[in-house]
Amino acid sequence: MDTVKDDLYYTEDHEWLEIIGDGKARFGLSDHAQAEMTEVVFVELPAVGDIAVKGKGIAIVESVKTVSDVFSPVSGEIVETNAELEDDTQWINESPYEQGWIATIMMSDPSEVDSLMDADSYRTFLSA
């Protein structure tokens, strides 16, 4: 059973978003996404200062099974990346919501969050 955290928002592409305050949000791949990918072996992170556009690719995750784009859940400027993932890619599999986060974004339009799914909606989406 996929873990879905109640305090996060989700996309149809299986990214999660956590509002961390001051217009900032952190995002990564959901537990469902990492389980589908299997063992993650490489992550290409965005650079601090990159401009993300909601729904567009911002990072790349490679597993033993596939290579996938990570799509930005909201628009804004990347202000922090999880550099630990470059050496410890297993965090995406082992701790997708805590240690496996990908980047922090300064949202340019916080109202974009309204178009994301809450946890209950995401659970329904996964079971469809």
Residue 121 domain-assigned? no
Instruction: Give tens-digit pLDDT for 6-23.
Output: 999 999 999 999 999 999
Phi-psi region of 14 (alpha: psi -120 to 50; beta: other; left: phi over 0): left
Range 65-75 average pLDDT: 96
Range 74-84 average pLDDT: 98
Range 70-95 average pLDDT: 97
Token reading at 66: 């596939």
Residue 116 domain-assigned? no
Per the structure, the count of domains in the chain is: 1
The domain containing residue 36 runs over which residues?
9-109
Q: Which residue has the higher pLDDT, 1 or 83?
A: 83
The fraction of the chain above a pLDDT of 90, given in percent, is 97
Residue 78 domain-assigned? yes
pLDDT at 2 over 90: no
At 74 the pLDDT is: 98
CATH of the domain at 15: 2.40.50.100
Closest CA to 100 of 47, 59, 67, 66: 59
Instruction: Give tens-digit pLDDT for 101-120.
Output: 999 999 999 999 999 999 99
Residue 125 domain-assigned? no
At 79 the pLDDT is: 98
Threshold 0.85, pTM exceeds: yes
Residue 42 domain-assigned? yes
Position 1 confidence tier, pLDDT thresholds 50, 70, 90: low
Question: Please, are residues 50 and 22 in contact by the beta-carbon 8 Å criterion?
Answer: no
Position 58 confidence tier, pLDDT thresholds 50, 70, 90: very high
